[in-house]
Amino acid sequence: MEDKVFWQDRPVLVTGSTGLLGSWLIPRLVELKSDVVCIIRDWIPRSKLLLDGFSEKVKIVRGDICDQRLVDRVLNEYEINLVFHLAAQTIVGIANANPVSTFESNIKGTWVLLESCRKISCVRGIVIASSDKAYGDQEKLPYTEDMPLRGKYPYDVSKTCADLLAQSYAHVYKLPVGITRCGNFYGGGDLNWNRIVPGTIRSIIRGRNPVIRSNGQLVRDYFYIEDAVEAYLLLARHLVEDQSLHGQAFNFSNEEPISVLDIVLLISKLMGSELAPVILNEPVNEIKDQYLSSEKARNMLGWKARYNIKEGLELTIGWYRNYLSNERRKS
């Protein structure tokens, strides 16, 4: 079945629509002519989704993903066929400072969504956004999907719990759930400046030394956002067409782990900057090394990343140069 035929007119719900992934996934769904419905809690005019004018091309419901009645109503009234559950509090520092609000958004928001789907017969696929953080600290790397989930820090715990909830609903209630576990997304449109990629790019554009809050030695996967979008679309389609995948989790990564310091140095090189990073070496509640194997996704879904980290960063730098240049002209 051709992609355009599969997606055309299909009613799709996206939660977390103004986040980085949602802001890239929704335009792709619109391009594929899906009937897109978004649940949005906070109206963020500077988000990429709204800046690019896509709020006028989708159906928007204002509300909180933790509101069971609202989610029930949306799934029923719009006869939702596919769900992308992206809504979450995604900032590790905020999770450490405000664990309860993070647990509320990430855990309760997930069980509310799954419970609504359990009651709606028209839902044929549900993609739940977990994270590599759900694995917690493991003796062996890279992470593979057969490893136990054992997050310890607040954000990691929230993702472990959401992941296990999704597996439970798939196993007990036969929901057509698929789970994604990805590393750190990056790409144009991420306005959380305390994240290392957008924060470094903005600092260099403004002539400031980039700041690394940790010691710079943490190793992570950095996953370009357009690759993430295609991974989510591919998994969703497979969930509809292959019931044997229901309840399974898939790692998605370009399999190029890199330290925080090295990615800052690579960004500086690509931008022609000689500004040295300032390393604060502040203690952080994070695991030292985290990165993924995508072997399962390659073998079972036929997936592979299109962009290496250099290519993804070049596209990302271009987006921020344009965005910040327009901001200066408006001020």
pLDDT, tens only, 87-135: 998 888 888 888 999 999 999 999 999 999 999 889 999 999 999 999 9
pLDDT given for residue 61 in this prediction = 96
As averages over each run of 10 residues, the pLDDT of the chain (331 residues) reads: 84 94 96 96 80 88 96 97 94 86 95 96 96 95 97 95 98 98 96 94 98 95 98 98 97 97 98 97 85 98 97 98 82 58
pLDDT attached to residue 43:
80
Concatenated DSSP letters for 242-285? -GGGTTEEEEE--S--EEHHHHHHHHHHHTT--PPPEE-----S
Domain-by-domain residue ranges, the chain? 3-186+223-255+290-307
- Residue 93 confidence (pLDDT): 80
What is the C-alpha separation between 133 and 261, in angstroms, rounded?
Answer: 20
What pLDDT was estimated at residue 330? 67
User: Percentage of the chain surpassing pLDDT 90?
Assistant: 85
Q: Are 155 and 133 in contact (CB under 8 A)?
A: yes
Residue whose token pair is 């590599």: 132
| Residues involved in catalysis | 155
Instruction: Note the pLDDT of residue 45.
Output: 75
What CATH number has the domain spanning 3-186+223-255+290-307? 3.40.50.720
pLDDT at 91: 82
